[in-house]
Every structure is written in C-alpha cells, then in structure tokens.
Structure 1
Amino acid sequence: RARVLEYLNQVASKLPPGAKPELGPDATGVGWVYQYALIDKTGRHDLSELTSIQNWLLKYELQTVPGVAEVATAGGMVKQYQITLEPNRIRAYGITLAQVKKAIKNANSEVGGSVIEMGEAEYMVRTNGYIKNLKAIENIPLGVNKNGTPILLSNVAHIALGPEMRRGITELNGKGEAVGGIIVMRQGENALTTIKAVKLKLASLQKSLPKGVKIVGVYDRSGLIHSAIKTLQSKLVQETIIVMLVCFLFLFHFRSSLIVVISLPIGILCAFIVMYWQGINANIMSLGGIAIAIGAMVDAAIVMIENVH
C-alpha cells in the first residue's frame, strides 16, 4: 500500500487537471447491503452452470450500478478440467512434466495470421485453438515415439471434468446448495439508493436468464434502515410526550416543559445539518447514534431546568 501511494504521488503532477487518484479500499466493513441467491428448481442447470451465470453475467452487470464497489460470489462450483498423469507411462515415453505443461498451454490459444488479399477482398486468418471439451484435451500431442506415432495426452494421463477446490458452500433454507451474490456498497454512498438500483438491475437481468433460473433476495438492509428510521421517529414522539408530562407534573410549569420539548427536534435537526455538511449519510450507525443521544439530551435539558427552578 505504501509503495502504491508513493508511485501515485510521483505521477500526480502528470495527470490532467481535476484528476485526483484515490487509494482504496473503496468499501467499509458495513458495506454489505444486499445478498441474493441464484437457484434452479427445475434441475436443468447444475451448480457449475449457475456459477458461470453469476461470474460472467450478473457480476459484471451489477458492477455497473452506481454505488456498487464489489460483487462477490458465495458458494457454487467452478468447473475445471482435471488431468492426472500416470508416472509409469510418462517415464516409459520419456516425457517430462514441463513438456506436458507446455503442450497444454500451446494447445489452448488463438493466434492471428494476418490477412490474405484475393482480388479486391481481404480475408482475415486466425486459428481457433481454445479447448472446449474433454476430447480436445485428450488429443493434445506431446511428441512422437520411435516409430513416428504421435503420443497423445490421453496415452499418459487420465482426464476428467470436476470441480475446483472448494473452501465453503452456500445453502438456502436447508433445501440444498445455491450460488450466492453479495453486493458491497461504495464508501460514502447512500444505502437505500444503491439497494433500489441493484433491485431494478436484477429485475431486468431476470428476463435474460435461462428458463427455470431465478434470483431470490436473501438479505436486504433497506428493511433494517427503514426500521431504524421508524424507531427514531417513535422514540422522538415517546420522549417528547414523557418529558412533557414529567416536567409538567413535577415542576407544575408548562413553559419549562415546552423548552425541553422544543429542544429535541431542534437538536436532531442540527445533527442532520452537520451530517449533511460532513457528507455523512443517514445509515444505521448514524441513526443509532442519534437515537442514543436523544436520551442524553433529554436528561441534560431536565437537569438544566431543575437548576433554574
């Protein structure tokens, strides 16, 4: 991190006017705002296919949503071709591991061949060499034997289709494994706006998914934020009524109780003004702090009024 910051400072003078590089992380520990699961109740698509949909479609599309810093994949299974070499066979053919690795790498590539001009037309030439199935891997040539017969990869190895090493799974409601996606919000963004944009994007992407594949919401912080706002509103009303009654019953002075009642909304309004100037959003942490501060503010107001009387 220090090295990256050092290089950024060195090139800062060469950047266009107004360009200001920022060093991450671009998200915080409370940036996890939404999570969804990708399921297929028809059984037509296995975990590897659902993982491919998540990694190559949903992930990149959701990263274009304003306010989204990262889209992480949870669970699922990444498909891979597994090649298990037979030590006795490669020793008999006189083939090394380096030769096998190089042959597989060369067989899984595409190379352009420039163009061929014929008359007034040009034809682009390229080789289509990406591996697409097990048969293509089995037929990778490693060399020739003494008789000039090609030595194929299938002659010295067992080739199969299997999962990449997994470090965990994602299960949905105890009904089996699923592929999950986690939305991480950018630092300083509005959670409600970001979640709303993510939901709209998922709704539009649902139409392009294969038949039977559905996106199911698992965690939505917007409900918690709305609950926190309602709690703040209810606490404000409750504190106002209780304080007014207590001050009036014990002090028998209506104007004194009115001072405490007026100080609550004014204090909260001042807090929101300062938050706006500082660029702080009304998230769970800030709303929770205001709710706690209401009690301390009421206590201080009562003490001050009692001292005056």
Structure 2
Amino acid sequence: MSEVTLEFGWDAQMSNLSMDVREKLDRLQLPLDADKPIVLRYDPALDPILKLSLTGEMNLSQLRLLADKDIKEKIERIEGVASARVQGGQQEEIHIDINQGKLAVMGISPESLSTLLSDSNINRPGGSLKNTQSQYLVRTLNEYQNLQEMRNLRITQMNQPPVTLGEVAKVSWGEKDREEIVRFNGKEGIMLAIYKEGDANTVEVAQLVKENIQRMQQDPDANFKLTVEFDQSRFIQQSIDEVKSALMMGGFLAILVLWLFLRNIRLTLIVAIAIPISVIATFIFMYRLDISLNIMSLGGLTLGVGMLLDSAIVVLESIHRHREDGQETALAAMDGTGEVGGAVLASVLTTIAVFIPIVFVEGIAGQLFKDQALTITFSLIASLIVAFTLTPMLAGLGKSTASSNPKGKLFANFVDKYKWLLHKALAHPIWLLSSSIVIFVLCLNLGKTLDNQLIPELKEGEFYFDVTLADGASLPATTELLTQMESIALNDPDVARVYLSIGSRNVSGGLSLKNKDENLGQINVVIKDRANRIMEERVINNLRQSYQQFAAADVQFGRPGFFSLKTPVELLFFSENLPLLRQYTLSLLPKLQQIKELIDIRASLESGNPEVKIEFNRNLLAQLDLNIEEVANVLNQRVNGVVVSRFQQP
C-alpha cells in the first residue's frame, strides 16, 4: 500500500479539486491486481468528538449486541451526531463447518451449497397486486427462524435420496474472527466513537450526547455503564471558560488601577462604563460578520479591554484639567474633548492599522488570527465612539466643584525624577542615539535565539503511544505486548486511567488508510492532575523509558492534535529503488538517535505483510479437469470462509 499527499493553496476550491483528482484517477491504467485508488480529504470532523466505554456484567457478545442494536441507534438519533462507531467486543455469527468428503461423494460443490443457503433465506419485495378498489404489496418471506431449520434444509435434488444440511455439516453459533480489541484500565470492553456532522457545534453536540447517556443509565433496567473516556469538547469549553475568566479579571484590574490613580469614584465609573458598552458594540459587529465566540475572538476582547480605556482616560483627563482651571462643566467637556480629539483619533487609528493587515494574511496564521484582529479593531472603534460621545456627556453632568489633585506625592515624585532623567538624556543626543541603536541590534540578535513555531504544544494531561509491531504480527501477539505496556502505565501512581485499542488506531483527520491492522495498537493515558505539566512530563519520560524494553515494537509518542498533522521535523527522501531507499533511511536512524534533542524517530517506509505464495502446475490441473480460478476460489473459501446470508434473530 502507498499514500500520495496533495497540498493545495489556501484559496483553492477543495470540492472542485476533489472531483478533478477523482476524474484523473479514473483515467489511470493500473495493474490488474491493484485496487482502485481512494481519495481521502482531510476533515477534522473525521475525528471523534467523544469516546465512550461500555462495560457491564454481561459477556462481550451481549455487550456488543447491546451497543450495535440499542445504544448506537439512540446516539445517532441525537441532533448533530453524524455516526457512532462501535469497536471491540465479540460479534456472534453462525458457523457451518461442512464435510467436504461427504459433499464430494454426493457431487455437491461448496459453491452450490452456498447458493442454496442464500436462496433459502430471503425477505424481498414481490411486486404488488391491484384491483379496482385497493392495492396490496407482495413480500416474499422465507427467513430462517432458528438453527434447527438450517440443519433440516434439504440439499439434494428430488430424484436423489433426501440429505439435510445437518448430516453433512455442523451448524452452530460461533464468534466472528476478531479484528480489534478494546481495553479500559485492564479490562476488555466496548468503545463507541461519536462523530459529529460537519457544521455542528462540538460543545453542543457533546453536551447533548452526555445528557442522553445520563438518561439511559438512569433507567432502572439498565445493567451497563457508559463512561466518557475522551471528550474533545472539554478542551474547547475549558479554553473558552479560562479566556472569559481572564477577560472579566482583566476588566476588574483595569478599573482598580484606574481608581488608584484617579482616587475619584465618579470619574472612575465614567471611564469604566466604556468597557461594557464597547464590548456590546463589538458583539454587534461580530454578529454581522458571523464571527463566533471562540478562543481567538475572546482573546482579542481580552487584549482590547485595556486599550478600551485609553481613549476615555485621555478625554476625561483633558476635561478634568479644564474644570480645574475654572471652566463651567459643559464648556469644559466640549473644550477638553476638542483639545485632545485629534491626538486620540490618531492614536486609535495607528493601533487599528497594526491589526488590520492580519485580516488579509493567508494560510493557517491568517485563519487563526483573523477573528482576533477583527475583534480588537471593532472594540477600538467602539471605544473611540464612546470616548467622543458618552464620556464627555457624563463628565459634563453635575455642578462644578473644586477637586484636589488625585495623583498624590508618590506620583509627583515619579514625575520629577522622570523629568530630570529626560533632561539628562536629551542633553547628550549622540550617546542617546548610539545606545538606542546598540540596544536595538542586541534585541534583534536575541530574537534569533528564540524558537519559531506556529503555536505552543498543547498539554491537557492526556497523551497516547502509537505501537506498531512487525508486519504480519498476529492480533494475539499484539494483544499480549500491549497488555504488558498497559500494566506498566497502570502501575504509575500519577496515572488516572488507561484505555487502549488493539488492531486499530485513530489517525487525525482520517488522513491515512493505515489505521487498522493486526499489528497496530494505541495506548491512551490520562493523568490524575491534568493541569500539572511537571507530573505529565514525569509520566511521559517514565513510560518512554519503560517501553524501550519492547524491542519488537515501534513506539511513538503523541498528543491529541488540534492544528497540525505533521511531526515537528520531517525529512523526505525520494528514489525509484525502494530496497535502496529503505536501506539508506534505516541506516540514518542510528545516527539521528544519537542527537539528544531528537526523540520518537521513525521511518515511514514499511514493508508488505509476509505471505505464502502458491504456484499451480497448469498441466497437472488440466489432467485433473480443473482450472486455476476454481482451485483458487476453493482455497479462499477454505481459508477465509464465505458469508452466504444474514440471520435475523426473531
């Protein structure tokens, strides 16, 4: 299997391009044994927003049936839920183990027996019957009601002695071959991955699902337990709540600092009233431009709270100074506002000019910071309008009264020392300019030493390890190894819970086809104190060191991703000679592992699964009156079996 990644410009129309790519691939001439290419488009909606664990006193088969037939259907009826995928457990099926020797004596082939079983279990429409007064739909019903009916099925022709299926085959309940296993804190269970619709709100859908889960478990007849193991909305809601809290705290501190300098409740309230009015006006602009309350827009409001007061403070200080000079209240409001109006307008416009260009930036940076830039711009415009209208009006109310200097001795001493320092600096302009240039150059050099990245790594007290065994490793072998790794994680005192999937792993955005195979697994770890980064790093380092003892597995650390699909550093190598490419890349791994700053190094080039090759002797097959296709089909049926029909339990 191979994957080809296509990257387009940010202004590309992805819907049209997807159709173009599919059209080009349809024209491609591939080898006969190659499957048709599948086009996958990255979509964050392809990641589950919730992962639920289903446990109970029932066995795994009953739990799986409960998840498939009851819980899954109830969850998918919730508004905003696109689908619910059930993983793990055991699925029941009916096994028919035929005695090929007996069938061969009677001249019955396995293919004809499969056709007979399928044709004898039908539930299909048969048209309609009409008369002058009514119309009746016709349905042909002949489904198996139990296993005994299947055993009593006659498989010989009418001119032959009657032989039933039970005489040449063993019909019994069995379990479907397991493809994936899910474990929660050392016990096997069922996992339900919940996916939302593309335009649905993650937080709202997750809340509706959790409310429905709570109602299901309140049922007196419920003998199962549903637990939320992973909640994508938790990170979003927590981030928004923290930004809201910072916004409220920032506004309160800004008002407090203002009062400490003004020492006048009335003047402080006049300036402080600019905050809620400007925020409300900003919400109106956001609503008109369809900007949601997200982390970036709320972050813009948080940054803008302090700047919201600047214009009002300058205008109010000018009005206050005119009143101290003896002017009437109304006249002081007009003259004070007119005196500083030009300076305030220029100050706000220059700040807006800094943020407006971000709106036109393309790529991820533009998409991330566009809402923030627009929110700051709207809040500054609103604060400017408030400073020129509401603030002078409120300041002009009331009678003119003498007011004392609110600055105090501390502020006066600071002003005197600042004047002295300013006069000294301006007296030596050459030294002042030279030192400024030197400091500027030093700051530029210091900036080069800082790390460059789009956003800092998100740490939420939850992480995972992707585990890959050698190609061809069986599911039991993968289960045995991951169970040992699970025990190590559970023995760590700082770990709250561990859940793992064996035979599959989650790939962000559904961007990879290599997410389900018997040699794959994923261990998800949640620590007790999710806000303690020191604890998280300690657990990660301990598990990394412990997992190094499993030389047969490739273990890669990762965190739930929200903005990026790639690893921090990727080296791409190209060659038409795959064996040489594999040899060269694998030779680089030991050298890269010697670099202390690098960790979790792996090569993406993978070999195919081991296989058993069978080559037929055409001449011998011809002598036996057989052809290759018939023998290959019989071999496939004997190895994999064949699903001939579906049994509906009454």
Which TM-score band applies after superposition, normalised by the shorter structure?
Answer: 0.5 to 0.7
2:74 corresponds to which of 61, 85, 94? 61
Change (3 A) 1:205 1:230: closer
* Paired position in structure 1 for 2:181: 169
What is the one-letter code of the residue matched to 1:178? G
Pick which of 131-140 and 273-282 moved more: 273-282
User: Deviation at 1:244?
Assistant: 9.1
What is the one-letter code of the residue matched to 2:193? I
* 1:247-272 deviation digits (Å, cap 9, x = unpaired): 9xxxx999xxxxxx999988976775
What is the one-letter code of the residue matched to 1:131? Y
* Paired position in structure 2 for 1:35: 51
* Paired position in structure 1 for 2:206: 195
TM-score, structure 1 as length reference: 0.63
Higher relative CO (Cα under 8 Å, sequence separation at least 6) belongs to: 1
What is the one-letter code of the residue matched to 2:201? N
Q: Does 1:214 align with 2:230?
A: no
What secondary structure, in the 3-state scheme, does the structure 2 residue paired with 1:32 have?
A: coil
What secondary structure, in the 3-state scheme, does the structure 2 residue paired with 1:158 have?
A: strand
User: Which structure shows the higher strand fraction?
Assistant: 1
Alignment partners' CA distance in 1, 2:257 and 2:107 = 94
Note if contact 2:247-2:302 (Cα within 8 Å) is conserved in structure 1: no
- What is the percent sequence identity of the aligned residues? 21
Note if contact 2:151-2:164 (Cα within 8 Å) is conserved in structure 1: no
User: Deviation at 1:151?
Assistant: 3.8
Alignment partners' CA distance in 2, 1:139 and 1:60 = 35
Note if contact 1:47-1:76 (Cα within 8 Å) is conserved in structure 2: yes
* Paired position in structure 2 for 1:180: 191
* Paired position in structure 2 for 1:17: none
* 1:14-54 deviation digits (Å, cap 9, x = unpaired): xxxxxxxxxxx9x84376332322211xx3x2222222222
The 5-angstrom pairing of residues 39-118 of structure 1 reads 39-40=55-56, 43=57, 45-110=58-123
User: Deviation at 1:106?
Assistant: 2.4
TM-score, structure 2 as length reference: 0.34
Alignment partners' CA distance in 1, 2:248 and 2:211 = 35
What is the one-letter code of the residue matched to 2:117? I
Change (3 A) 1:228 1:168: same
* 1:240-298 deviation digits (Å, cap 9, x = unpaired): 68889999xxxx999xxxxxx9999889767755654454544xxx3x33466579879
**Larger Rg: 1 or 2?**
2
Alignment partners' CA distance in 2, 1:75 and 1:209 = 26
Give RMSD over aligned pairs. Answer: 4.8
Change (3 A) 1:133 1:198: same
Alignment partners' CA distance in 2, 1:111 and 1:32 = 36
Alignment partners' CA distance in 2, 1:154 and 1:263 = 90
* Paired position in structure 2 for 1:140: 153
Alignment partners' CA distance in 1, 2:292 and 2:159 = 74
What is the one-letter code of the residue matched to 1:170? V
Note if contact 2:243-2:302 (Cα within 8 Å) is conserved in structure 1: no
What secondary structure, in the 3-state scheme, does the structure 1 residue paired with 2:83 have?
A: strand
Change (3 A) 1:72 1:236: same
Change (3 A) 1:150 1:280: farther
Note if contact 1:264-1:297 (Cα within 8 Å) is conserved in structure 2: no
Alignment partners' CA distance in 2, 1:104 and 1:215 = 39
Alignment partners' CA distance in 1, 2:47 and 2:55 = 24
What is the one-letter code of the residue matched to 1:32? P
Gaps in structure 1 of 5+ consecutive residues = 6-24, 115-123, 255-260, 302-306
Aligned residues: 270
Alignment partners' CA distance in 1, 2:296 and 2:142 = 60
Alignment partners' CA distance in 1, 2:77 and 2:226 = 18
What secondary structure, in the 3-state scheme, does the structure 2 residue paired with 1:233 have?
A: helix
